[in-house]
Amino acid sequence: MADGSSDIDFQDSWQTDIAAHTIDRVIGLGLVPATVAREVVDGKVGSLQWFVEVMSTEAERLEQQQNPRTWKTGMSKTVDRHLKNILVTKEFTLRLIDHSRAFRVNRSPAKPELLTRLSRTLLDGLPKLEKKDLQKQVGKYLMSSQIDRLLSRRDAILALTKKRISDNGEATVLYK
């Protein structure tokens, strides 16, 4: 990685983008461009993803200090993201790409201290992720252990959010 560290617990594959799009639809966030499996070349299968016309990546937006008022709302729907994989459209909406590291074996979020304010859409959508359904919908793209760890992170986020709501009040933790 850029800082000299290694990152080995991830699946660098087009398959994670299909899984991420499917999960995004289940949760109801609408942040991942449509991505489907297609035969691409010489009978090989790959992914086809809707092209996102972008203004910048989130890392570039931060560097240029562009900060529209509604920005925090959109960013609160992203969890454990690499800033160069958050695309910013000309309308200042977010699109998440390259989900290679999204299905690592971690059982808890990488930076729970950043999960201080979440969208109600995300909070309401996370319980919709059920193991049986995920195995059916994304089981050919993810290993069973990846699905299990995803559900562990979901449970950790839900527990953390419940505690934060109890400690600080719903209005402080959740937004519409």
**Within-domain flag for 82:** yes
**Within-domain flag for 68:** yes
Residue-wise pLDDT tens digits, 1-60: 556 666 666 678 899 999 999 999 999 999 999 999 999 889 899 998 888 777 677 677
Residue-wise pLDDT tens digits, 71-97: 555 555 665 566 778 787 877 788 888
**Within-domain flag for 46:** yes
Overall size of the chain counted in residues: 176
Q: What is the pTM of this model?
A: 0.79
The number of domains in the chain is 1
Which residues have C-beta within 8 Å of that of residue 26, sequence separation ≥ 6? 125, 128, 129, 133, 137
Residue range(s) defining the domain that contains residue 136: 15-170
Residue-wise pLDDT tens digits, 107-166: 888 888 988 999 999 999 999 999 999 999 999 999 999 999 999 999 999 999 999 999
